[in-house]
Amino acid sequence: MDEIIRQSEEIEEFYTIFVVDEHNVFQGIVSLKDIIKAKGNVEITALVKSDVAWVSPDTDQEEVARLISQYNITSIPVLDNQMKLLGRVTFDDVIDVLEDENTEDILKISGVSEDEELSGNWVEAVKSRLPWLIINLGTAFLASAVVRHFEPTIAKIAVLSAYMTIIAGMGGNAATQALAVTVRRISLYDLTDNQAYRTVLKEFTVGLINGAVTGLIVFIFALVFDANPLLGLVIFLAMTGNLVIAGVTGAGIPLMLKRVGIDPAIASSIIITTFTDVFGFLLLLGMASKLLL
């Protein structure tokens, strides 16, 4: 207790005591609570817990944050190759790390480079964002090509153009939801093949259910306002199919990019937007040309 009081003058808040031997080799931890409750003649050896989490100096900061969160501890020791104690990382350090990592992920998912400072000027913002917008424009031409191919169908059934925006918007939103959840899961866990498969299967199921429910709502809308049950059926099927595609691509694309060594956060959004737009228009206009003409 005297040693704790002496060292506490140099250290901020602490709840755990790191125990080392005469060579500074880490032996384990003792909680401050156990020391206070222990009798005066008990040796520290009897209180030490040796089976504890620790990290090395080159451990990734996200992995350190994950360990502190997983084991619900206030600090984690940093040890070298000889198991000598070098220092500690505390939970308040981790909070700063998580804030930086979350900001980075949000910027990447939005198609914004991590090089852009949040307080930067408009020139830096343009340099950071314009290349991704140009790439996105190129992929948008694919969706435009699908619409051009079905111009005769749209000319005969002009109301389809109103529902195209709904199909594309819902698909994009659903894909973004699946993408955000999957990217976060990838950043927190090292997913096995089985876990990756279950992630895609889950998003397929979510997309199928959400697509059916929202598709049914649009079906009723088309039935009431357009008095065309066949049109409602086409929209229902297109909505369901596009949300399934959105879920599968929103989960599958980042997992595949991660597998080949490409950052899934920064590249996925453009790819899945292309999928949902192209296949959404293709489903809606393709079925309309077969069933409504």
Higher pLDDT among residues 78 and 33, named by residue: 78
Residue 118, pLDDT above cutoff 60: no
Residue 102: its pLDDT value, please?
67
* Total of domains in the chain: 2
Structure confidence by residue, pLDDT tens digits, 18-65: 999 999 999 999 988 888 888 778 888 889 999 899 999 999 887 888
Asked whether residue 97 is assigned to any structural domain, the reply reads: no
Residue 171: its pLDDT value, please?
93
Q: Using CA atoms, how far apart are residues 283 and 59, in angstroms rounded to an integer?
A: 47
Confidence of residue 289 (pLDDT cuts 50, 70, 90): very high
> Do 265 and 212 reside in the same domain of the chain?
yes
Structure confidence by residue, pLDDT tens digits, 167-192: 999 999 999 899 888 887 887 677 88
Lowest pLDDT segment from 84-88, 202-206, 256-260 = 256-260
Confidence of residue 231 (pLDDT cuts 50, 70, 90): very high
Lowest pLDDT segment from 54-58, 108-112, 177-181, 222-226 = 108-112
> Do 165 and 230 reside in the same domain of the chain?
yes
Residue 111, pLDDT above cutoff 70: no
Q: Which residue, among 66, 65, 59, 67, has the nearest Cα to 86 in the 3D structure?
A: 59
Does pTM surpass 0.85? no
> Do 50 and 181 reside in the same domain of the chain?
no
> Do 14 and 147 reside in the same domain of the chain?
no
> Do 138 and 193 reside in the same domain of the chain?
yes
What residues contact residue 204 under an 8 Å CB cut-off, 6+ apart? 244, 247, 248
Asked whether residue 264 is assigned to any structural domain, the reply reads: yes
> Do 82 and 144 reside in the same domain of the chain?
no
Domain of 180: which CATH number?
1.10.357.20
> Do 26 and 167 reside in the same domain of the chain?
no
Let me know: does 273 contact 139? Beta carbons within 8 Å.
yes
Residue 230: its pLDDT value, please?
93
> Burial of 255 by CB count in 10 Å (0-12 exposed, 13-18 middle, 19+ buried)?
buried
Domain of 80: which CATH number?
3.10.580.10
Q: Which domain holds residue 43?
A: 2-59+75-87
What residues contact residue 2 under an 8 Å CB cut-off, 6+ apart? none
Asked whether residue 19 is assigned to any structural domain, the reply reads: yes
The mean of the pLDDT values for the chain is 86
Confidence of residue 5 (pLDDT cuts 50, 70, 90): confident
Share of the chain residues as helix, strand and coil, in percent rounded to the nearest 5: 70, 10, 25
Asked whether residue 104 is assigned to any structural domain, the reply reads: no
Residue 213: its pLDDT value, please?
97
46: how many CB neighbours lie within 10 A of its CB? 9
What residues contact residue 37 under an 8 Å CB cut-off, 6+ apart? none
Asked whether residue 134 is assigned to any structural domain, the reply reads: yes
Instruction: Name the helix (H) or strand (E) containing 86.
Output: strand 85-90
Q: Using CA atoms, how far apart are residues 264 and 251, in angstroms rounded to an integer?
A: 10
Q: Which residue, among 274, 255, 240, 275, has the nearest Cα to 183 in the 3D structure?
A: 255
Sign, CA torsion 98/54/260/280: negative
